[in-house]
């Protein structure tokens, strides 16, 4: 029997919002999830640009880096490269039933909506959709073009949750971290993970 509560795939693309991904992974580690991390080359550039984090390109080195950063258990975080086709996330018989793309670029949105599998992120999402699992897309772009909206509609009609990175302000945030927690709290809610980082509506007023 696994020592972890459940498995989940976290895909990180080159859209703005890398801090969301880091906070999400931190919360998933605390919730005792086993996490498969997929990170695009563009995402590593954005990590460096937005939060000064230099994620190694090597999957093994990136696994060690994130495991140490979040003080994860042994084997709790595993990073896979974009062409590791024999990884669990590439197969319907082994992939986690839950996946979140955070943040999600509109390019990745388009590829997934059309069933493309040119890299492991796209293949993993395709697997979750075909296996009727739970896929959440945290899309970050503004404004949305008609193409973006059509792609989101296509995925929504398949049962995918489209969750634009659009934090609210009713909780009277006083820091960027408060805005990050707003979005990550909503992600955790939809994943069915108990959280206390975002106040419930009405309780803080």
Q: How confident is the model at residue 202 (pLDDT cuts 50, 70, 90)?
A: low
Q: How confident is the model at residue 196 (pLDDT cuts 50, 70, 90)?
A: confident
pLDDT of residue 205: 45
The three-class DSSP label of residue 84 is coil
pLDDT of residue 203: 58
Domains along the chain with CATH numbers: 6-191 (3.40.50.1950)
Q: Would you say residue 87 has pLDDT above 80?
A: yes
- Average pLDDT for 58-62: 97
pLDDT tens digits, one per residue of 2-49: 799 999 999 999 999 999 999 999 999 999 999 999 999 999 999 999
- Average pLDDT for 70-91: 96
pLDDT of residue 1: 58
Q: Would you say residue 204 has pLDDT above 70?
A: no
**Contacting residues for 61 by C-beta, under 8 A, at least 6 apart:** none
Give CA–CA dist 193/174, Å, rounded.
25
Q: What percent of the chain has pLDDT above 70?
A: 97
Q: Would you say residue 188 has pLDDT above 80?
A: yes
Give, in degrees to the nearest 5, the angle at Cα 56 between 140 and 197. Answer: 45
Q: Would you say residue 50 has pLDDT above 50?
A: yes
Within 13 Å of residue 160, how many CA atoms lie on the same side as its CB? 28
pLDDT of residue 200: 72
The burial class, CB within 10 Å (0-12 / 13-18 / 19+), for 184 is buried
- Average pLDDT for 97-114: 98
Nearest to 44 by CA among 70, 97, 76, 82: 82
- Average pLDDT for 72-94: 95
Q: Would you say residue 91 has pLDDT above 70?
A: yes
pLDDT tens digits, one per residue of 147-179: 999 999 999 999 999 999 999 998 889 999 999
Q: What percent of the chain has pLDDT above 90?
A: 92
Would the pTM of this model clear 0.75, i.e. be above it? yes
């Amino acid at each position: 029997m696994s020592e972890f509560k459940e498995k989940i795939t976290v895909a990180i693309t080159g859209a703005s919002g890398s801090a969301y991904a880091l906070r999400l992974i931190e919360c998933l580690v605390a919730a005792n999830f086993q996490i498969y991390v997929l990170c695009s080359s563009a995402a590593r550039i954005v990590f460096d640009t937005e939060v000064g984090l230099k994620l190694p390109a090597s999957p093994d080195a990136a696994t060690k880096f994130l495991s140490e950063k979040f003080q994860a258990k042994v084997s709790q975080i595993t990073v896979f490269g974009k062409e590791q086709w024999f990884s669990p996330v590439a197969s319907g018989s082994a992939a986690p039933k839950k996946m979140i793309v955070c943040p999600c670029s509109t390019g990745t949105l388009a590829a997934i909506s059309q069933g493309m599998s040119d890299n492991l992120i796209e293949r993993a999402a395709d697997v979750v959709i075909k296996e009727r699992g739970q896929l959440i897309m945290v899309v970050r772009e503004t404004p949305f073009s008609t193409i973006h909206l059509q792609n989101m509609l296509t995925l929504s009609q398949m049962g995918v949750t489209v969750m634009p990175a659009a934090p609210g302000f009713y909780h009277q945030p006083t820091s960027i971290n408060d805005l990050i927690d707003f979005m990550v709290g909503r992600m955790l809610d939809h994943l069915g993970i108990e959280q206390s980082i975002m106040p419930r509506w009405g309780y803080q007023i």
